[in-house]
Structure 1
Amino acid sequence: MKVTRFDAAEAYFPAGHVDMRCYRLQGRDDAVEPAMLLNLCHFLPGGSTGSAASPAEKLYLVLEGELTVSSGGREELLGPWDSCRIAPGEARLIENRSHRPASILLVMTNADAAPKGPSD
């Protein structure tokens, strides 16, 4: 079992993200790379992720506030307890268009720990 106390969670600032702060709750600090990562992200008003794709599958759960998620020409406004899935390789943009802070819980696969195929 690995416990992370929130006050000890590492803050990080992903490239291309604006006016937000993320905290690693689980993953990327263990000797063995876990298959899943758990993060908490706070978006200030006007904050965004930038539009990008990654090899990781991502699950977002809005905890507080409202966030607009755009992907593949589709746009959805998510509020508390709404969730969405972004497939590996799918570009997404998350924006806080409101005047209030918003928070999401992010669960994602750890692309660095993905099993290697026979050709890798």
Structure 2
Amino acid sequence: MNVMRFDQAPPYQAPGHALMHMVRLQGREAGPADCLWLGLSTIEPGGGTTLDASGVEKMYVVLDGEVTVSNGQEEATLRPWDSCRIAPNESRALRNNTNRIARILLAMPL
């Protein structure tokens, strides 16, 4: 069993992310994992990511606030407990268009 206390979760940086604070909850620097890692992103008002694609699947769950997700062709505004899957090689951009902080959980393969 690997317990990671939130106040000890290691922060990480990713290119194309602005006004965001990200921590790993499990996997990578946060401990052993066989197939995926979990992260939590806090997105400040006006913050988000650039439109970009990666070769791996991503799963997002909004925990607090609102996050607009776009694949460059369509977009959806996710609210607490809404989720979104981004397929491998599908572009995605996240944006917090509100005036309050948003929090989103990310699950991604190693």
- When normalised by structure 2's length, the TM-score is 0.94
**How do 1:35-114 and structure 2 match up within 5 A?**
35-110=35-110
Alignment correspondent of 2:7: 7
Superimposed CA distance per residue, residues 53-106 of structure 1 (whole angstroms, 9 cap, x where no aligned partner): 111211100000001000140110110110000011111000001111000010
**How far apart, CA to CA, are the structure 1 residues paired with 2:72 and 2:30?**
34
**How far apart, CA to CA, are the structure 2 residues paired with 1:40 and 1:98?**
18
| Unmatched 5+ stretches in structure 2 | none
- When normalised by structure 1's length, the TM-score is 0.86
Q: Percent identity?
A: 49
- Decide whether the 8 Å contact of 1:4 with 1:26 is kept in 2: yes
**How far apart, CA to CA, are the structure 2 residues paired with 1:32 and 1:46?**
34
- Decide whether the 8 Å contact of 1:28 with 1:34 is kept in 2: no
Letter in 2 for 1:26: Q
Tell me, what secondary structure is at the counterpart of 2:7? helix
Give the direction of change, closer, same or farther, for the CA distance of 1:35–1:102 in structure 2 (3 Å limit).
same
* Number of aligned residue pairs: 110
Give the direction of change, closer, same or farther, for the CA distance of 1:30–1:105 in structure 2 (3 Å limit).
closer
| Unmatched 5+ stretches in structure 1 | 111-120
- Decide whether the 8 Å contact of 2:10 with 2:29 is kept in 1: no
Structure with max Cα Rg: 1
Alignment correspondent of 1:21: 21
